[in-house]
Amino acid sequence: MNLKIATRKSKLALVQTDYVIEIVKKFHNITCEKVLTDTLGDQRLDVTLDKIGGKGLFIKELEKAILEGHADAGVHSMKDVPYEMPEGFEIAAMPVREDVRDAFVSMKGVKFKDLKQGARVGTSSKRRASQLQLLRPDIEIVPIRGNVQTRIDKIERENLDGIILAAAGLKRLGMESIITDYFEPNEMVPAIGQGALGIEIHENCKNSEAFKTLDNPIVRLCVEAERSFMRELKGDCNCTIGAYATLHGNTLNVVGIYEVEGKLIKDSVSGNKEDYINLGKELADKILTSGRN
């Protein structure tokens, strides 16, 4: 048996899909091949995602390949997966989560805290930009899009003092050495699902168990709590939102940020891990109430 897995063509997407192919082979002795897709999110780098339909643009073509029978599954970065999935589709497994932190990359090795007054920092994320400006109101935010290498090239080309990228992507690409320093999750709350991989299938998938058995229950619990927070707030790339859940024994802690009436509100909740969906909702209600008072 040979399974087909849809993926975007970026180097990072291919590395992530290779990882899934390796674990399918390891656990089930099933070989897989990649089905390469072009997504609108990858093609249109001249505009911000919210102008062309949001992060779902990175997964629609993969879903189309699955629906049309060209692929059995698709591999995504969970931070690109909208809270509402098309009918019949599900995330069969979240097998792994890398470092959730955001990383600062400066070609001259200048740490974020040592940046000069009025430094130019590149990011296309509203979440990162809003939190950056709380940390350093003097910084000029420069919008940049593209794959990891494209963004790194823009440091010199656009005369930037540095850029913010997800540590997970850099580590998966073997580029950890270029990271100047990290933002801890409590000072810059990560994107929902940041660092986690998701394997998407359709309900008609004949080999669903081959994928479902790869699920990591701790990754699943934490990411689903974050996604519950996002769902409650109807969060997408048009809004400033982030969340990060951590499990300590049976206690789940979820920290989140969300912009309410022009104010960035940050709060957290803790509770029993069995209540992970409700904890996400509780945090959303808490932040909305706080922002409106």
Catalytically active residues are 80
> Residue 60, CB half-sphere, CA atoms under 13 Å: how many?
10
Half-sphere exposure of 96 (CA within 13 A, CB side): 12
Helix (H, G, I), strand (E, B) or coil at 216: coil
Q: Which residues contact 100 (CB under 8 A, 6 or more apart)?
A: 167, 168, 185, 190, 194, 195, 244
Q: Phi and psi dihedrals of 34, rounded to 5?
A: -85, 140
Which of 181-195 are b and which e, b meaning 16 or more Cβ less than 10 Å from the residue's Cβ? bebebeebbbbbbbb
**Residue-by-residue DSSP string for 88-111:** TEEEEE---B----EEEE-TT---
